Chain A
Amino acid sequence: MTEPTSLPAGAPAAAGAPAGPDLAALLRASARGDEVAFAQLYDATAARVHGLALRVVRDPAQAEEVTQEAFLDVWRTAARFDADRGSALSWLLTVTHRKAVDRVRSAEASSRRDTSYHQQNQPIDHDSTAEAATASMEARRVRGALASLTPVQREAVELAYFGGYTHTEVASMLQLPVGTAKTRIRDGLIRLRDAMGVGQ
């Protein structure tokens, strides 16, 4: 991680203001039953939603189910999106993350946690979709922001966010006292937020 954390000129300022369609406006239209707007919302965000679901649940078929559940939930509850509390993309990914974590935990509760590491889906073709146009630049910014975390903060954040583990499980996996893991997760997220310049 040697990339600078400063923003390249003209980079999107935050999750709420990406180049491309106005996601909040598409969400508001979706809340009124506008299926065309919802399709645009899907096209603008599906790769990020699915990428997140896949990263957490790992199994491609289950990841698609999580992606489907998340988008249906977004459609049903679009009217409850509150722009004062964050960007449309952040809300969408929060919904997705919760569904992905619920999926791995319920599978785990029945001793069926999927341990498949196969990923049949292909990484997004960076030339093929509108969403991809800014993806690579955004990914560079995020990697830069992640580099501002200490290694132990980063480890804890990644186990919690991508691993779907509870802070207690993270503590056990890293052989830390319970209070230490939750502090690392919080401190790491604060650094990430500040480095990304979002949610202020």
Chain B
Amino acid sequence: MNDVHALSGAYAVDALDDIERAQFERHLVECAECRHEVDSLRAGAAMLAELEPVAPSPGLRDRILAEVATVRPLPPQVVEVRPRRRRFPTLVAAAAAVVAVGIGGGIVYDRLSDDTPSDINISATERVVEAPDAERYVQRFDDGSSAIVYRSVSLGQAVIVTKGMADPGEGKVYELWLERDGEMIAAGFMPEGPDNTVLLSGDAASADGVGITVEPEGGSAEPNLDSAVVLSFDA
């Protein structure tokens, strides 16, 4: 049993960091034994949820069923899935509104160049930035600040690097989102300070863009679209 194989248990219960998870998922592609073991360990772990069932508030059922009525289920995965390009009129309009508060500039797409991030999550973010298939999207703002998003489809991860970002304001944070099928899915927060490098949580491979919004501390369930800046992956 090699060392990678021994990570099956931690992987099954989401106890790997982002790098280890990406490594183990590459291993899973070629190791049927590990795939089977992970499935079986997840089945066992899932039983732990039997210990403390807690009914959610009755209103949650109504909210979920109402939302479901507006969402189309995805088709089954077939042999070849071609990425589809989508536009998000609401969000693009919201992003345009940001210009009014002094932020402008275009989104530029080019292949990876030699910008390297520093700060937290250094190795996890380096892996994305240095991935052979890394894509790079740049957003420059009129106040001199900038945000660069790197995405690696093969790793399924995206990293955002900010320089000179203004303080979001008292009691506010920058929240990060992944856009998928017109939905904004919470993907973490920017730490305090103007210069940061953050690995977004969630599957960036299937995402269509990255959003940044200003939210009350602790974040929001729904993005504040008035403050949204969106970097679309199909720019």
Contacts and interface: CB of A to CB of B under 8 A. Distances in A.
Nearest to B56: A50
B54 A124 contact: yes
B64 to A, nearest CB: 5
Contacts of B187: 106
Contacts of B39: 85-86, 199
A185 B15 contact: yes
Interface string A68-89: 1101100111111000011101
A125 interface: yes
B55 A89 contact: no
B62 to A, nearest CB: 10
B40 interface: yes
Given A109-B189, A167-B10, A90 B46 contact: yes
Interface string A147-189: 0000000000100111011111010000000010011011111
A19 interface: no
B218 interface: yes
B81 to A, nearest CB: 11
Interface residues on B, range: 35 or more
Contact of B53 (A51, A168, A187, A190): A51
B47 A142 contact: yes
Interface residues of A, number: 100
Given A55-B52, A124-B53, A199-B44, A165 B12 contact: no
Interface of A: 14-16, 30-33, 35, 38-39, 42-43, 46-52, 54-55, 63-65, 67-69, 71-72, 75-80, 85-87, 89-90, 93-94, 96-98, 101-103, 105-107, 109-112, 114, 119, 121-125, 128-129, 131-132, 135, 138-139, 141-143, 145-146, 157, 160-162, 164-168, 170, 179, 182-183, 185-190, 192-194, 196, 198-200
18 contacts: A14-B43, A35-B65, A47-B55, A54-B52, A67-B56, A72-B68, A77-B74, A94-B46, A106-B187, A110-B188, A124-B55, A161-B13, A161-B45, A168-B17, A182-B7, A190-B44, A198-B47, A199-B39
